[in-house]
């Protein structure tokens, strides 16, 4: 094939000198071509080989096509345009992969019979180590556009060719292919190199565009998925306030289907909480956590909205994103992160005595309904544990449990703590206002400890809230619905407080629906060892210690009267653990005021006296139990009329009240 080509250029002479003698003094050969010749010679390539180029087998070729499907698809129209300029001239336009194998080709019908181009066929290799110096193979190595003509080719069979090739890079800069134009050397022209470079740049530009489109499509899918799955309601409104898009959560909150909601003016569905007029301005300016009201088929719904305007060009308002979150959902989040959740259950109440088991039984029965509960008992008996346990067994167990100690808050602050306040309600009020405990507990339980210490003026407001199930924030005039179960606790006899005039009678009856007396520790002596070991084990686990208890400790503890109840016992355990240096708690580790209750050495007469006293104590308890039962029957018979009960029992009215207090009877 090379013998049929006309070789009149000076490069031919330099080529022959290099091939035959290895001479590098080639003044007419470009440096990049010479470097390629050297690579070919070092690879022991035969410059006179006139055989057919090796090619991929069918399976490997199909696999290569599959891998380069995107490149071929994008390059195809550009190759078509280039071929229009060389069609009928014997030139071929080819696309190779990064290994130099032809994957796509445009050529005249006689391409395979034409001795100039018969090595251009699908799957053919044009790598330098196979085809010698050529535009495709050399561009693969240099990664630059190159034109190789005539005797610049290392293999003589290609001296009749002129080839122009340009590399194609992906968006990350990796070489992924070569586009080439090849034909007869007699038609060699620099414009073919310009054409192929332009085509390569166009292909790479299209790759970048498609890659951006893929990225945009991915981002769009992520945004759509986020838009659809986010728990907050999201609206997109145009510059005129019309809803143009809404997510599924917004459909649920607004109780409206998307197809029915699009096009509606947003201010017809959502209005500021303290404004009755429809205002578009709210949705045209940025705002965060604005209290509003949604008007739905099921009534009004309190929500918090945030607005973020967007612009299609600087200073030109195009619309807004509006997020909607129901107030109850916000309250749940606040409760979750502020600790307004109950953690204790009935299993956490330690004791096996009849008294504590009876209190637990009543509390379990109370938990299954929504009635108000009054827990009575001395300080330290564990009233809040009972309150949490009741809440956790109720239908509101997943809702907030909000405690408030009425005796620990200054008189002037109880109102704001219970009912909250509006922005600017008083000097020192937090900007934006504040939710009160009733709103925070809505849907759950509000535990009012030391309810007997609540001032009378706040008792009046509390009674109204219980009756109407609505509150008004301090400084506000809007009635806010609240759905709260009340559990109250006190260490006082509220009936005596009613008689004194320090507690409202009507509020007492509202709170005293279900009354549970938490027994003091002195009435459940058999529970002391259980409680002691419970607190001890907890401390040992926390401190990774192993501490034993001498039996004499329990005997001593059972003689003490425990004015501080379970809370005092817990402190005693911690003190004893701190003092138990040898890993054993002895009697001398207990405080002196507890050890002073220890019995004196026994003698027969003293033992007899103690046994007699114990029998009298048992009989007395039985008599008290019977008297309590009789009193309950009479109170029910006479509808709580204490005067009639006193007359029937032959007692004074004051004595009946005292016995009701002792027997934990509240009417």
Residue/partner pairs of 225-230 with CB below 8 Å, 24 or more apart: none
Q: Are the beta carbons of 156 and 48 closer than 8 angstroms? A: yes
Residue 415 sits in the same domain as residue 560: no
Together in a domain, 412 and 485: yes
Burial of residue 108, with CB atoms counted within 10 A of its CB: 0-12 exposed, 13-18 middle, 19 or more buried: middle
Range of the domain at 535: 522-595
Q: How many domains does the chain have?
A: 5
**φ and ψ at 487, to 5 degrees?**
-120, 120
Task: Provide mean pLDDT across the span 126-133.
Answer: 95
Together in a domain, 284 and 182 = no
- Between the two ends of the chain, the Cα-to-Cα distance in Å is 121
Confidence label for 195 from pLDDT (cuts 50, 70 and 90): very high
Is 223 inside a domain boundary?
no
Out of 498, 519, 540, a domain closes at 519
pTM score > 0.85 for this model?
Answer: no
Residue 379 shares a structural domain with residue 457:
yes
Domain CATH code at residue 322: 3.30.450.20
When pLDDT is cut at 50, 70 and 90, the band that residue 203 belongs to is very high
Would you state the pLDDT for residue 608?
52
Which one has a higher pLDDT value, 428 or 496? 496
Residue 3 confidence class, pLDDT cut points 50, 70, 90: very low
- Name the residue with tokens 């209750």: 597
Q: Read out DSSP for 359-408?
A: HHHHHHHHHTS---EEEE--TTS-HHHHHHHHHHHSTTTTS-EEEEETTS
Q: Which residue has the higher pLDDT, 567 or 648?
A: 567
Angle at 108 between CA 103 and CA 111, to 5 degrees: 70
Q: Which residues have a Cβ under 8 Å from the Cβ of 212 and sit 6 or more positions away?
A: none
CATH (domain of 64): 3.30.450.40
Length of the chain, in residues: 667
Residue 667 lies in a domain: no
Specify the pLDDT at position 662: 77
Residue 164 shares a structural domain with residue 27: yes
Give the pLDDT of residue 413: 87
User: Is residue 526 domain-shared with residue 511, that is, in the same domain?
Assistant: no
Quick one: DSSP state of residue 242? B
* Distance in angstroms (rounded) separating the CA atoms of residues 642 and 665: 12
What is the pLDDT at residue 266?
87
What's the confidence (pLDDT) of residue 194? 92
For the chain, the average pLDDT equals 86
Whether residue 74 is predicted with pLDDT greater than 60 in this model: the reply is yes
Instruction: With a cut of 50, say whether residue 6 has pLDDT above it.
Output: no
Same domain? 35 vs 111:
yes
Verify that 528 and 451 share a domain, yes or no: no
620 and 581 share a domain? no
220 found inside a domain: no
Per-residue confidence band for 633, with pLDDT thresholds at 50, 70 and 90: confident
Residues 130, 265 within the same domain: no
Q: Is residue 178 part of a domain?
A: yes
| pLDDT tier at 2, thresholds 50, 70, 90 | very low
pLDDT the model gives residue 7: 45
| Boundary residue ending a domain (154, 180, 211) | 211
What is the average pLDDT across 224-245?
Answer: 88
10 Å CB burial of residue 80 (0-12, 13-18, 19+) is exposed
Look at residues 102, 1, 4, 8 and name the one whose alpha carbon lies nearest to residue 50.
1
Q: What CA–CA distance (Å, rounded) separates 451 from 241? A: 50
pLDDT-based confidence at residue 598 (cuts at 50, 70, 90): low
Mean pLDDT of all residues in 354-362 = 92
Q: Is residue 451 part of a domain?
A: yes
Output the DSSP codes for 286-325: -EEEEEEEEEETTEEEEEEEEEEEEEEETTEEEEEEEEEE
Domain-located, residue 224: no
Tell me the torsion sign for CA atoms 136, 139, 144, 149.
negative
- The C-alpha atoms of residue 644 and residue 637 are separated, in whole angstroms, by 10
From CA 413, how far away is CA 131, in angstroms rounded?
93
544 and 610 co-located in one domain: no
Asked if pLDDT for residue 415 goes beyond 50, the answer is yes
- Whether residue 640 is predicted with pLDDT greater than 80 in this model: the reply is no
**How would you classify the pairing of strands 175-184 and 161-169?**
antiparallel
Beta-bridged to residue 177, according to DSSP, are: 97, 168
The DSSP symbol for 153 reads S
Query: CA 121 to CA 111: how far, in whole Å?
Result: 9
Q: What is the pLDDT of residue 337?
A: 56
Is 626 part of a structural domain of the chain? yes
Average pLDDT over residues 219-237: 86
Q: Indicate whether 535 belongs to any domain.
A: yes
Q: Looking at the structure, do residues 553 and 512 belong to the same domain, yes or no?
A: no
Range scoring the smallest mean pLDDT among 1-5, 33-37, 309-313? 1-5
For the stretch 204-210, contacts whose Cβ atoms lie closer than 8 Å and that sit 24 or more positions apart, written own/partner, are 204/168, 204/169, 204/170, 206/74, 206/78, 207/71, 207/74, 207/168, 207/170, 207/171, 208/171, 210/70, 210/74
Burial of 535 (0-12, 13-18, 19+ CB in 10 A): buried
Which of 298, 331, 364 is the last residue in one of the domains? Answer: 331
Rg from Cα positions in the chain: 47
Residue 1 has pLDDT above 80, yes or no: no
**Contact yes or no for 540/546 (Cβ under 8 A):** yes
């Amino acid at each position: 094939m090379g013998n049929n080509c006309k070789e009149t250029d000076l490069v031919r002479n330099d080529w022959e000198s290099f091939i035959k003698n290895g001479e590098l003094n080639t003044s007419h050969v470009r440096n990049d071509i010479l470097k390629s010749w050297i690579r070919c010679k070092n690879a022991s390539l035969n410059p006179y080989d006139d055989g057919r180029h090796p090619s991929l087998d069918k399976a490997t070729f199909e696999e290569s096509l599959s891998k380069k499907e995107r490149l071929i698809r994008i390059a195809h129209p550009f190759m078509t345009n280039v071929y229009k300029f060389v069609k009928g001239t014997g030139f071929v336009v080819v696309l190779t992969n990064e290994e130099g194998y032809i994957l796509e080709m445009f050529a005249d019908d006689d391409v395979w019979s034409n001795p100039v181009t018969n090595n251009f066929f699908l799957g053919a290799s044009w790598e330098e180590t196979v085809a010698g110096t050529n535009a495709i193979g050399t561009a693969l190595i240099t990664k630059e556009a190159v034109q190789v003509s005539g005797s610049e080719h290392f293999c003589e069979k290609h001296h009749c060719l002129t080839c122009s090739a340009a590399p194609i890079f992906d968006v990350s800069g990796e070489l992924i292919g070569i586009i080439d134009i090849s034909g007869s050397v007699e038609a060699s022209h620099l414009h073919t190199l310009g054409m192929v470079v332009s085509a390569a740049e166009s292909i790479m530009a299209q790759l970048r565009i498609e890659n951006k489109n893929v990225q945009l499509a991915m981002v769009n899918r992520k945004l759509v998925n986020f838009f659809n799955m986010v728990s907050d309601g999201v609206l997109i409104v145009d510059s005129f306030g019309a809803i143009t898009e809404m997510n599924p959560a917004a459909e649920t909150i607004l109780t409206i289907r998307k197809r029915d909601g699009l096009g509606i003016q947003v201010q017809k569905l959502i209005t500021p909480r303290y404004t009755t007029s429809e205002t578009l301005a709210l949705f045209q300016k940025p705002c965060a956590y604005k209290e509003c009201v949604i008007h739905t088929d099921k009534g009004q719904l309190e929500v918090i909205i945030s607005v973020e305007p967007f612009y299609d060009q600087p200073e030109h308002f195009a619309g807004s994103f509006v997020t909607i979150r129901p107030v109850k959902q916000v309250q749940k989040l606040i409760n979750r992160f502020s600790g307004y959740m109950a953690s204790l259950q009935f299993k956490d109440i330690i004791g096996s005595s009849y008294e504590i088991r009876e209190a637990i039984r009543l509390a379990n029965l109370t938990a299954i309904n929504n009635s108000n509960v009054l827990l009575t008992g001395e300080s330290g008996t564990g009233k809040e544990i009972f309150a949490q346990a009741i809440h956790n067994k109720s239908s509101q167990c997943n809702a907030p449990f909000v405690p408030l100690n009425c005796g620990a808050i200054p008189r002037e602050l109880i109102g704001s703590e219970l009912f909250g306040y509006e922005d600017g309600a008083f000097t020192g009020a937090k900007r934006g206002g504040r939710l009160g405990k009733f709103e925070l507990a809505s849907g759950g339980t509000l535990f009012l400890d030391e309810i007997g210490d609540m001032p009378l003026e706040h008792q009046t407001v509390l009674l109204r809230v219980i009756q109407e199930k609505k509150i008004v924030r301090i400084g506000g005039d809007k009635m806010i619905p609240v759905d709260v179960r009340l559990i109250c606790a006190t260490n006082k006899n509220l009936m005596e407080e009613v008689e004194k005039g320090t507690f409202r009678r009507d509020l007492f009856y509202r709170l005293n629906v279900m009354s549970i007396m938490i027994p003091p520790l002195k009435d459940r002596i058999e529970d002391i060892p259980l409680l002691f070991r419970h607190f001890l084990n907890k401390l040992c686990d926390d401190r990774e210690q192993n501490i034993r208890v001498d039996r004499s400790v329990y005997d001593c503890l059972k003689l003490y009267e425990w004015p501080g109840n379970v809370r005092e016992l817990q402190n005693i355990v911690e003190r004893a653990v701190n003092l138990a240096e040898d890993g054993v708690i002895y009697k001398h580790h207990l405080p002196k005021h507890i050890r002073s209750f220890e019995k004196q050495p026994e003698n027969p007469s003293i033992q007899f006296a103690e046994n007699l006293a114990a029998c009298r104590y048992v009989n007395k308890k039985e008599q008290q139990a019977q008297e309590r039962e009789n009193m309950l029957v009479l109170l029910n018979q006479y509808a709580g009329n204490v005067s009639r009960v006193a007359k029937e029992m032959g007692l004074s009215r004051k004595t009946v009240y005292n016995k009701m207090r002792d027997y934990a009877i509240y009417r």
